[in-house]
């Protein structure tokens, strides 16, 4: 973020502060009110699912509201049993004064007794501001680090929490972070078992047909996208009786079009930009396997017990992928290790904005094909396509 933008947002924060003092909190109620703030991505949500369910069960006598990222908020009620799910668009929250103040006012007026902020990489101008506005008597979060928040701002916002948890050293994976947070808050041992509910949506009849595998060409960061032509090469090397189905957001249509154009004989089904999150979940459940970039779909596949091959760079090595050794249904990570792994995507190498990072570009199609287990390629799964 540019320095001028930071200054603008800090002035904006001051204005919000004067507005905040005019909003009165609701009086205490006989039923405890709890807010859980979870505004990170789709993959984070699916990693967090078992711990979200456990937290809801622990506070089963309370009224629990989940403030959810709009990317996955529509799916949350189908998978979890919170009393309320409120949607938040983090980018809009930062830039739209009216939207932000309306949401903050709604939260403050609710009069929450407890705010839980389980995301380790909390953001000063988003999660921390929400906590400050709620003014709940009890507010619990992680003590974050300099990779996630400016140290000076962190020292400021740390005072807005009544309890800050310290993450043990050598706890890199996001799922382990979620487990420890729950154990600290509830005082109970936790596990990562989550039983995926029965089908929550139906798929159009035109998607039905032969056995298939999913291809995920997108990623939020252009640098983490493996070249589409290499994905096409991989598809060409897989059995022709398995149909390639491409999924992603509307932003991925260029990549999916390049893949389909490169392999016209493979009868590709391009569903890019056409699926809801719950429909994507059903597609994953019925797939033979997935191949794609390091995105939320990999963690969705892991939750469904579906094999997946993830094309992985080293920016956040071990934070999301690869999974810890021994994790069941872990995606197969394909990567070429470099000395700079762990850079937090602050790449030291010069590259054009839309080019993949060198650690991503170094992955060869032969490496990906070698990672696809032959047993996955037999059309034995009951298909919903």
CA distance 255 to 272: 9
pLDDT tier at 227, thresholds 50, 70, 90: very high
Report yes or no: 266 and 235 within 8 Å, Cβ to Cβ: yes
- pLDDT tens for 10-20 read 666 666 766 67
Residue 385 has pLDDT above 50, yes or no: no
| 62 has pLDDT over 90 | yes
DSSP per residue, 261-305: HH-GGG--EE-TTT--HHHHHHHHHH-S-EEEESSHHHHHHHHHT
**Percent of the chain residues topping a pLDDT of 70:** 90
**Whole-angstrom distance, CA of residue 142 vs CA of residue 158:** 9
Residue 200 is predicted with a pLDDT of 63
316-337 pLDDT per residue, tens: 999 999 999 888 899 999 999 9
Q: What is the mean pLDDT of the chain?
A: 90
% of the chain residues with pLDDT over 90: 73
For residue 154, the SS3 value is helix
Q: How many Å is the Cα radius of gyration of the chain?
A: 22
238, 372 contact by CB (below 8 A): yes
358-374 per-position pLDDT tens digit: 999 999 999 999 999 98
Residue 133 has pLDDT above 70, yes or no: yes
Q: Is the pLDDT of residue 382 over 50?
A: no
Q: What is the pLDDT of residue 383?
A: 33
For 156-186, the DSSP string reads: HHGGG-SEEEPPPSS---HHHHHHHHHHHHH
Q: pLDDT-based confidence at 25, cuts 50/70/90?
A: confident
- Cβ atoms of residues 234 and 368 within 8 Å: yes
Work out the number of other CB atoms within 10 angstroms of the CB of residue 143. 14
Confidence of residue 377 (pLDDT cuts 50, 70, 90): confident
φ, ψ of residue 290 in degrees (nearest 5): -120, 150
User: With contact defined as beta carbons under 8 Å apart, do 280 and 300 qualify?
Assistant: yes
Query: Roughly what angle, to the nearest 10 degrees, separates helices 3-20 and 97-110?
Result: 40
Span 126-135, mean pLDDT?
Answer: 93
| Spatial distance between the Cα atoms of 369 and 234, rounded to a whole number of angstroms | 6
- For residue 42, pLDDT over 80 is answered with yes
State the pLDDT at residue 4.
64
Note the pLDDT tens digit of each residue in 176-223: 999 999 999 999 999 999 988 887 677 776 665 678 999 999 998 999
Q: Is 220 helix (H, G, I), strand (E, B) or coil?
A: coil
What CA–CA distance (Å, rounded) separates 50 from 342? 27
In this prediction, residue 7 carries a pLDDT of 67
The set of long-range contacts for 150-155, using a CB threshold of 8 Å and a minimum separation of 24, is: 150/124, 153/124, 154/124
Q: Which CA distances in Å does 4 have to 8, 18, 62?
A: 6, 22, 43
Span 149-184, pLDDT tens digits: 777 888 888 999 999 999 988 878 999 999 999 999
**What are the pLDDT digits (tens) for 301-320?**
999 999 999 999 999 999 99
Measuring CA to CA, which residue among 274, 135, 154 is closest to residue 204? 274
Mean pLDDT on 127-153 = 87
Mean pLDDT (whole number) for 97-121: 95
Could you tell me if 219 and 295 are in contact, meaning their C-beta atoms sit under 8 angstroms apart? Answer: yes
Is residue 141 within 8 A of residue 161, CB to CB? The reply is: yes
CA distance 217 to 225: 7
Q: How far is CA 225 from CA 87, 216, 248, 273, 319, in A?
A: 28, 10, 12, 17, 18
Q: Are residues 139 and 161 in contact, defined by beta-carbon separation less than 8 angstroms?
A: yes
- Give per-residue pLDDT as tens, 230-275: 999 999 999 988 999 999 999 999 999 999 999 988 889 999 999 9
Q: Cα–Cα distances in Å, from 229 out to 122, 201, 259, 327?
A: 36, 32, 6, 32
Report the pLDDT value the prediction gives residue 251, as an integer from 0 to 100.
93
Domains, in order of start, for the chain: 11-186 (3.40.50.2000), 205-377 (3.40.50.2000)
């Amino acid at each position: 973020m540019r320095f001028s933008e930071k200054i603008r947002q800090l002035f904006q924060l001051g204005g919000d502060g004067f507005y905040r003092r005019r909003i009165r909190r609701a009086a205490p109620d006989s039923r405890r009110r709890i807010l859980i703030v979870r505004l990170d991505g789709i993959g984070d949500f699916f990693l967090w699912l078992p711990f979200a369910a456990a937290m809801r069960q622990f506070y089963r006598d309370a009224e629990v509201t989940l403030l959810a990222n709009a990317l996955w908020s529509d799916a949350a009620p189908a998978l979890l049993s919170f009393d309320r799910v409120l949607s938040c668009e983090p980018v809009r929250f930062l830039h739209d004064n009216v939207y932000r103040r309306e949401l903050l006012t709604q939260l403050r007026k609710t009069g929450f007794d407890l705010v839980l902020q389980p995301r380790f990489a909390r953001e000063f101008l988003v999660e921390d501001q929400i906590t400050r506005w709620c003014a709940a008597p009890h507010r619990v979060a992680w003590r974050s680090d300099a990779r996630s928040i400016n140290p000076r701002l962190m020292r400021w916002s740390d005072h807005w929490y009544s309890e800050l948890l310290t993450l043990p050293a050598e706890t890199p994976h996001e799922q382990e972070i979620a487990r420890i947070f729950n154990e600290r808050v509830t005082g109970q041992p936790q596990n990562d078992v989550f039983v995926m509910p029965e089908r929550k949506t139906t798929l159009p009849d035109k998607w039905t047909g032969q056995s298939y595998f999913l291809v995920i060409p997108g990623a939020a960061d252009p640098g983490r996208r493996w070249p589409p032509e290499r994905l096409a090469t991989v598809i060409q090397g897989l059995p022709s009786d398995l149909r390639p189905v491409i999924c992603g957001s509307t932003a991925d249509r260029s990549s999916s079009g390049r893949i389909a154009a490169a392999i016209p004989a493979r009868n590709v089904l391009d569903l890019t930009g056409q699926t809801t999150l719950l429909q994507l979940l059903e597609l994953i459940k019925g797939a033979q396997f997935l191949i794609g970039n390091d995105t939320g779909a990999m963690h969705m596949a892991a939750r469904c017990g579906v094999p997946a091959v993830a094309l992985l760079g080293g920016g956040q090595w071990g934070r999301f992928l690869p999974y810890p050794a021994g994790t069941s249904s872990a995606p197969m990570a394909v990567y070429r290790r470099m000395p700079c792994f762990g850079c937090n995507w602050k790449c030291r190498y010069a590259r054009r904005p839309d080019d993949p990072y060198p650690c991503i570009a170094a992955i060869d199609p032969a490496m990906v094909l070698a990672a696809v287990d032959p047993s996955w390629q037999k059309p034995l799964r009951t298909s919903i396509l």
